Homo-oligomer: A and B are copies of this chain.
Amino acid sequence: MLIVQKFGGTSVGDLDRIESVAKRVAKSKDMGNDIVVVVSAMSGETNKLISYANHFSKSPNKREMDMLLSSGERVTSSLLSIALNEMGYEAIALTGRQAGMITDNVHTGARIEKIDTSRMKKALGENKIIIVAGFQGIDRDGNVTTLGRGGSDLSAVAIAGALNADLCEIYTDVDGVYTTDPRIEPKAKKIEKISYDEMLEFASMGAKVLQNRSVELAKKLNVNLVTRSSFNENEGTLITKEENIMEKPVVSGVALDKNQARITLRGVVDKPGIAADIFKKLADGNINVDMIIQNVGEDGSTNLGFTVPQNELEDAKKIMLELNASKNLEFDSNVAKVSIVGVGMKSHSGVASQAFETLANENINIEMISTSEIKISMIVDRKYSELAVRALHEAYELDR
Binding site for B on A (CB under 8 A): 15, 18-19, 22, 49, 52-53, 55-57, 60-61, 63-65, 67-68, 70-72, 74-75, 77-79, 81-83, 85-86, 91-93, 95, 97-98, 119, 142-144
Does A52 contact B79, Cβ atoms closer than 8 Å?
A: yes
Most chain B CB inside 10 Å of its own CB: which residue of A15, A63, A79, A92: A79
A22 neighbours in B (Cβ, 8 Å): 56
Chain copies in the assembled complex = 2
Chain B nearest CB, measured from A21 CB (Å): 11
With A and B bound together, what is the CA distance between A57 and B86 in angstroms? 6
Does A65 contact B78, Cβ atoms closer than 8 Å?
A: yes
- A63 touches which one: B53, B70, B74, B92 (CB < 8 A)? B92
Most chain B CB inside 10 Å of its own CB: which residue of A56, A70, A72, A74: A56
Does A82 contact B53, Cβ atoms closer than 8 Å?
A: yes
Does B71 contact A57, Cβ atoms closer than 8 Å?
A: no
Does A79 contact B68, Cβ atoms closer than 8 Å?
A: yes
Chain B nearest CB, measured from A35 CB (Å): 16
A-B contact pairs, 18 of them (CB 8 A): A18-B56, A56-B79, A61-B81, A63-B92, A64-B78, A64-B82, A64-B91, A65-B78, A65-B82, A67-B74, A67-B77, A67-B78, A67-B81, A68-B74, A68-B78, A95-B144, A97-B142, A98-B143
A72 neighbours in B (Cβ, 8 Å): 71
Does B95 contact A82, Cβ atoms closer than 8 Å?
A: no
A95 neighbours in B (Cβ, 8 Å): 67, 144
Does B68 contact A75, Cβ atoms closer than 8 Å?
A: yes
**A70, closest chain B residue (CB):** B74
Chain B nearest CB, measured from A81 CB (Å): 4
